[in-house]
Structure 1
Amino acid sequence: MYMPNKPNKYELKIMCLCDAKIHYLLNAFIYVGKDTSPNPRKLAVPTLNVLQLVQPIINSNRNITGDNWFSSIELVKELKKCGLTYTGTLRKTKREIPTEFLLNKDRSALSTMFGFTKDLTILSYVPKKRKSVIMLSSLHHSDEIVQNEKRLPEIIDFYNSTKGGVDSLDQKCACYNVGRRSRRWPLTFFFAMVNIMGVNASVIYKSANNENMDRRSFIVSVGGDLIMNHLKNRVTVQSLPTDLRALIKWHIGATVEASRVDIHVDNKRRRCYMCHSDNKHPHKCSVCQKGICKSHSVNIVKCLNCTE
């Protein structure tokens, strides 16, 4: 899909529902454009997408924050049936907006106009001359203004504090990205899933263990656990080079000293039992006492504390 406003112009578009505070992904699906499935109620495409995303949290009394592509009075009414509230910016082209809330040259900067119904609040805020922002909320039902230099309405202040859930998730995924360049979209989608799973797993781990581990250390730990079974199987391969086997045993925490091949110099020269050539060498294995060359042996380096 072509998205001119994004850093990557061509990419898969994934609709996501994230927690605004911890950026945990709750639900997602690939956006393929206008759905061809039956729509007897004639709901708009953004409304259908949001209703699909909120299925795991229906009747949980949560609030959904979205941008102006999703926002509509139709969506607010549908979410109310699901036991959810909504807060978001509203496009000025929506027919439901009263003309008084549209941009007026006579309105002063930092002024706010409110409109209330039984279940809905709409406002028009002028951050500077000849510019306005229209907001929609079914969570707020007051005209409270935050007392600061911008005199922001409480609805806009709440929106600014909760709107970055998906963007923060994208930022975390891009920081430690496992993706590789590929022309196959299923593989690209798989990489995106792995990135998201890394973020979700980190959130779950921190919540369950009450431990503030940074994401880099967590990803390294998870990566080591994922390859552990493969390393344990590979170390049993008889044709594996000795130095590589010793390195794998060091990674998996096995006892290297009992099976390592160390170099011992002897006056008697022997043929290396692992070489095809008939060259003689003055070294032998400290375990099996067989002749060995330097190419098929390994030195284990230890610090002074570990040799005691």
Structure 2
Amino acid sequence: MLKKSFFVIVFVLIFLLSGCGVKTKKVKDPFISIKEQLDKLESYTATAIVELYNNKIDNKFAVVQFYKKGKFRLEVLKESGSPDKIIVYDGKRSYVYFAKVNQVFVAENTEEIPLYSMITSFIKNYINSGGEIEKREMDKFYLITVPILDKNIFMYKEQMAFSKEDLTPKELTIFDINNEIFSKITYKDYKYNPEINDKLFTKDSVTTLAGNLLDSPVIEIDTKEVYKYCGINPVMPVYLPQGFKLLNVLVNVNENNGVTFVYTSGGELIEIFETVVDQNEIVNEKGFLLSEGVYYKEKDNGEKEYTTMVNGMQVKITVTGDLNEEEILKVIKSLR
């Protein structure tokens, strides 16, 4: 009996001692993981809802953001969803398209550009903060507060809230020198290191919303490939208004493989869409008769659309800008 009790005690001691030797798995510090994600960020896309405060919300607007390896594109939208301004930085210079005046400017003065709303602006301040970093935890977020390098009385420090679920940026709050909220930016549809087409960061793209350039059913092709993709021999304008050049050729596989030729002068766009339709279908599109065989209507977003038939194809010409009717009629008459 004593011998049996002895072996039981020895067994229990061995079990307890072996249990003490098991190492508890260490949970990684979430703030270290956040820092690693920010260090490895090469590109991102997001929609930022920006609220500017002065005792109350004075102004609210949306900014669609694209960033890739030092280049960026910001599309500042009105409440209607139409662009107020589009900013493109190609790595060397910034270009700003102001929809109100329909002109492109080289950005010498960046005060009106909401760069402070960008995630990369926070990263820059975070990396170069010199150790002045506050970290704390809330129910749903990890919070990191850093001083703003180029601080002023309105933008003195900023606090980014990261989701506990996936450590993504969710909300940036900028405080003034009195610790009052100057701005609050909420990020939606954030994508980490996505593939982004480089053409979004070119001067020539600054007058067109990214959604129109990167629409998923649209394929960018060379002029010589039009027949291969569309099965049509396109008509091309012999005449173009001064300063206009061909920007790109797009095929929409969801719309009868129609082909669009995009011409730009830098501040204005002419889009010529061609597709094969029944001769009678043009009647449904006509708006009102502008001249023989040419119909005109103004779209809800202010764009002007001209529709006609050339060599059995329906041709729609959409104009963004202040080009006059006479110039567009010359373009239509020159289609060959």
TM-score, normalised to structure 1, is 0.33
After TM superposition, the score normalised by the length of structure 2 is 0.31
Larger fraction in strand: 2
Q: State the structure with bigger RCO (CA 8 A, min sep 6), 1 or 2.
A: 2
- Bigger Cα Rg: 1
